[in-house]
């Protein structure tokens, strides 16, 4: 049994999480309230162990009868979503067989589409052997490298310089992944309660990093064509955030890439704002257009931009190595907060960066096109734009059923993430991210399961009764 934590949610706050449930009609049932609360618990909006408000207080805030609230909670207790103890109240819980919605690890036989990450590059073992031969000389040292192995820092600096951003090794810090680097930046440059300007939608794990740092997300919505720069400028001027985070290259999850003119304008905005801004380039190399890449944002606002990157998406997720590129004083501040990344992985990274990603890009472009064909054939009511790079499609659904669709798909052996996980304040139930990093046979199975789950949901809602659609 999950025991209550110190977290507590008030009645009005819980009603706000329920959104339009209480406004959709006056004759709501206990079953419908239980179903709405169950979704909040499954998707993580109502954290496990959170103490719930008293029934009388909750009923008054809805508003609804106490009998209805009591009956709804009884249903949730019977299903294992709520536990109660005399003198301790009731709290949110999860039964053992509840779908995890992309959290933790998938069970046996489950196809993982929660993570947008392909298999390792073909030359991984060749790079491993080369790194192994260079490793013994480090056995005479303490093994700690706060800034990173010098040759790895130099190789990353060369990579930035070749992209039009002159960089010295002293401007590079090697970290255990881009997400770790982001958390370290938040730790150094912010305090709990500070605002962080962030895109809406945004990378789900970056949102978790914002939450763990106890920052307040200042979400600026993306538009159908990309970034709303006037809205960014207004938010920076009026809300005074302490820091910002942006993914300008094949934004996760929308797939947008910031144009050169927009980068120039964004650079001017940042120079006026004079706050640190984290630019995530994790998928910058996964460009399938063949066009000349725009300049890195750090070249347009060098004093404000802290660039983070990683080999997880471009080379392999099992290589937990990332980097930070910034001014020297920033690198020195960040190095004081950690003992450094593993030496062998740093040597391996230096070898991998010398490889050619051309075949990798072609393979992923083919998988993208295959997923596009499958979804257009099997889910014709879905809409999406085909991104020029990255690893996923951001799909708009005809109805706000993202979380329910993910639950149905997981029961059939496919692990996805609901749209709400990419929102700073939840929502986005009309959206779902579908990665195309997986192999063709897995893409076909994913779409088959999605189409069948979607048909079941529509049939249950009385919208449309459709048979399982063939995958072509």
Contact 440, 406 (CB under 8 A): no
Task: Determine the angle formed by the axes of helices 402-411 and 30-43, rounding to 10 degrees.
Answer: 80
Q: Does residue 296 have a pLDDT over 50?
A: yes
Distance CA(337)–CA(147), nearest Å, equals 11
The pLDDT confidence band at residue 470, using thresholds 50, 70 and 90, is very low
Q: Residue 461: its pLDDT value, please?
A: 40
Terminal Cα distance for the chain, rounded: 45
Contact 323, 175 (CB under 8 A): yes
For the segment 365-379, the average pLDDT, to the nearest whole number, is 97
Q: Residue 260: its pLDDT value, please?
A: 95
Architecture of domain 111-120+358-461: Alpha-Beta Complex (3.90)
Count CB atoms within 10 A of the CB of residue 80. Answer: 15
* DSSP three-state, residue 251: coil
Averaged pLDDT score across all residues of the chain: 89
61-83 residue pLDDT tens: 998 899 999 999 999 998 888 98
Residue 196: name the closest of 246, 241, 231, 247 by CA. Answer: 241
Strand partners, 223: 226
The lowest-confidence range among 84-93, 135-144, 285-294 is 84-93
Q: Residue 303: its pLDDT value, please?
A: 86
Q: Residue 460: its pLDDT value, please?
A: 46
Q: Residue 101: its pLDDT value, please?
A: 57
What token pair was written down for 80?
Answer: 């294992």
Dihedral, CA of residue 179, residue 417, residue 19 and residue 73, to nearest 10: -110
Architecture of domain 124-352: 3-Layer(aba) Sandwich (3.40)
The pLDDT confidence band at residue 98, using thresholds 50, 70 and 90, is low
375, with CB counted inside 10 A (0-12, 13-18, 19+), is buried
Distance CA(56)–CA(60), nearest Å, equals 6
The contacts of residue 221 (CB under 8 Å, 6+ apart) are 200, 228, 231
What token pair was written down for 108?
Answer: 């046996």
Q: Residue 103: its pLDDT value, please?
A: 58
Q: Does residue 415 have a pLDDT over 60?
A: yes
49 vs 471, residue with greater confidence: 49
Percent of the chain predicted with pLDDT > 70: 91
Strand partners, 392: 435
Q: Residue 471: its pLDDT value, please?
A: 34
102-144 residue pLDDT tens: 556 666 778 999 999 999 999 999 999 999 999 999 999 999 9
CA angle 311, 313, 351 (to 5 degrees): 30
Contact 248, 202 (CB under 8 A): no
For the segment 364-374, the average pLDDT, to the nearest whole number, is 98
* DSSP three-state, residue 191: coil
Dihedral, CA of residue 400, residue 406, residue 407 and residue 410, to nearest 10: 170
453, with CB counted inside 10 A (0-12, 13-18, 19+), is buried
Fold of 11-92: Arc Repressor Mutant, subunit A (1.10.10)
Distance CA(216)–CA(282), nearest Å, equals 24
Distance, C-alpha 80 to centroid of its chain: 28
Q: Residue 469: its pLDDT value, please?
A: 34
The pLDDT confidence band at residue 400, using thresholds 50, 70 and 90, is confident
Residue 247: name the closest of 214, 286, 275 by CA. Answer: 286
For the segment 274-297, the average pLDDT, to the nearest whole number, is 95
For the segment 361-380, the average pLDDT, to the nearest whole number, is 97
Q: Does residue 26 have a pLDDT over 60?
A: no
* Placement of tokens 């029961």 in the chain: 411
Q: Residue 462: its pLDDT value, please?
A: 34
The pLDDT confidence band at residue 20, using thresholds 50, 70 and 90, is low
Distance CA(323)–CA(314), nearest Å, equals 14
The contacts of residue 358 (CB under 8 Å, 6+ apart) are none
- Domain regions of the chain by residue span: 11-92, 111-120+358-461, 124-352
Residue 182: name the closest of 249, 241, 243, 115 by CA. Answer: 243
Distance CA(135)–CA(122), nearest Å, equals 22
Residue 279: name the closest of 115, 388, 163, 425 by CA. Answer: 163
The contacts of residue 287 (CB under 8 Å, 6+ apart) are 249, 250, 257, 293, 361, 388, 389
Percent of the chain predicted with pLDDT > 90: 68
The pLDDT confidence band at residue 363, using thresholds 50, 70 and 90, is very high
- Bridge-based pairing of strands 111-112 and 414-415 is parallel
Q: Does residue 166 have a pLDDT over 60?
A: yes
Q: Residue 85: its pLDDT value, please?
A: 83
The pLDDT confidence band at residue 99, using thresholds 50, 70 and 90, is low
């Amino acid at each position: 049994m999950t025991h209550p934590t110190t977290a507590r949610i008030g009645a009005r706050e819980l009603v706000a999480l329920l959104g339009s449930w209480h406004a959709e009609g006056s004759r709501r049932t206990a079953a419908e309230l239980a179903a709405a609360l169950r979704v909040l618990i499954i998707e993580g909006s109502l954290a496990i162990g959170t103490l719930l408000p008293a029934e009388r207080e909750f009923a008054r805030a809805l508003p609804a009868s106490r009998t209805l609230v009591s009956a709804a909670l009884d249903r949730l207790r019977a299903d294992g979503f709520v536990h109660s103890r005399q003198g301790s109240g009731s709290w949110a819980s999860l039964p053992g067989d509840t779908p995890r919605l992309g959290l933790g690890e998938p069970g046996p036989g489950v196809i993982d589409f929660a993570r947008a990450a392909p298999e390792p590059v073909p030359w991984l073992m060749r790079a491993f052997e080369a790194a192994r031969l260079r490793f013994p000389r480090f056995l005479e040292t303490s093994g700690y490298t706060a800034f990173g192995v010098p040759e790895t820092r130099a190789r990353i600096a060369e990579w930035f310089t070749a992209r039009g951003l002159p960089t010295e090794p002293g401007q590079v810090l090697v970290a255990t992944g881009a997400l770790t680097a982001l958390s370290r930046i938040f730790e150094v440059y912010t305090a709990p309660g500070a605002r962080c300007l962030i895109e809406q939608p945004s990378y789900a794990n970056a949102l978790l990093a914002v939450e763990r740092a106890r920052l307040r997300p200042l979400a600026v919505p993306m538009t159908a064509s990309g970034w709303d720069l006037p809205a960014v400028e207004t938010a920076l001027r009026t809300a005074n955030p302490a820091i910002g985070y942006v993914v300008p290259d094949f934004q996760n999850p929308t797939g947008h890439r910031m144009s050169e003119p927009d980068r120039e304008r964004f650079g001017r905005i940042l120079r006026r704002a004079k706050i640190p801004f984290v630019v995530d380039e994790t998928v910058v190399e996964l460009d399938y257009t063949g066009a000349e890449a725009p300049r890195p944002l750090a070249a347009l606002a060098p004093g404000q931009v802290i660039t983070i990157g990683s080999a997880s998406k471009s080379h392999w997720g099992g290589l937990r190595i990332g980097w930070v590129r910034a001014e020297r004083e920033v690198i020195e501040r960040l190095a004081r907060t950690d003992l450094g990344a593993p030496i062998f992985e740093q040597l391996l990274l230096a070898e991998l960066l010398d490889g050619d990603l051309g075949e990798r890009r072609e393979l992923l472009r083919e998988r993208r096109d295959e997923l596009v064909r499958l979804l257009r054939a099997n889910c014709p009511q879905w809409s999406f734009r085909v991104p020029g790079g990255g690893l996923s499609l951001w799909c708009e659904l005809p109805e706000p059923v993202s979380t329910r669709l993910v639950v149905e798909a997981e029961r059939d052996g496919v692990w996805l993430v609901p749209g709400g996980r990419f929102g700073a304040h939840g929502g986005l139930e009309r959206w779902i991210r579908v990665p195309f990093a997986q192999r063709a046979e897995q893409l076909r199975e994913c779409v088959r399961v999605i189409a069948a789950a979607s048909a079941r949901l529509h049939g249950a809602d009385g919208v449309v009764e459709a048979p399982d659609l063939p995958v072509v």
